[in-house]
Amino acid sequence: MASDSYVFKSTCVELPTAFHAILGTALFLFGNLIAQEPSLALAGEPDVPTPYWFAALDVFETGENLPSRTSGYGCEAPEDWRMAIVWGRTLVCIADETLTRSAQHQSVTNLFNEETKWPRESPFSTIAARRPPVTRRMSMASSSAHDLMILAMDQFSRGIFHMPHQQTSDSSFSRAKELFTLASEVLLLAEKMDVATERQYWASWADSVFNQMKMEADMDQWRGPITRARGKCWLTVGSARVEELETALEAGDYGVLQSRDAEDARRGLTKAIEFFERAKGSASMNSTGLDDTDWRELSPLLTEALLTLANLTSDEQAREALYTRAEVEGGNLMDCD
In this prediction, residue 3 carries a pLDDT of: 41
Same domain, 91 and 224: no
- Domain C-terminal end among 146, 163, 180: 163
Establish if 6 belongs to a structural domain: no
Tell me the average pLDDT across 281-292: 63
Same domain, 328 and 204: yes
Show the CA angle centred on residue 235, arms to residues 315 and 91, nearest 5°: 155
Same domain, 337 and 199: yes
User: What rounded mean pLDDT belongs to the chain?
Assistant: 84
| 221 confidence band (pLDDT: 50, 70, 90) | confident
Same domain, 207 and 138: no
| 74 confidence band (pLDDT: 50, 70, 90) | low
Mention every residue, 6+ apart, whose C-beta is less than 8 A from residue 268. Answer: 234, 235, 237, 238, 241
Same domain, 253 and 329: yes
The lowest-confidence range among 84-93, 150-159, 287-296 is 287-296
71: pLDDT strictly greater than 60 = no
Same domain, 141 and 234: no
pLDDT digits (tens, 9 = 90+) for 96-144: 999 998 888 777 767 776 666 777 778 888 887 777 665 566 667 778 9
Residue 256 is part of which domain span?
Answer: 195-337
Establish if 177 belongs to a structural domain: no
pLDDT digits (tens, 9 = 90+) for 239-266: 998 987 888 888 788 888 899 999 999 9
pLDDT digits (tens, 9 = 90+) for 229-241: 999 999 999 999 8
Same domain, 49 and 102: yes
| 288 confidence band (pLDDT: 50, 70, 90) | low
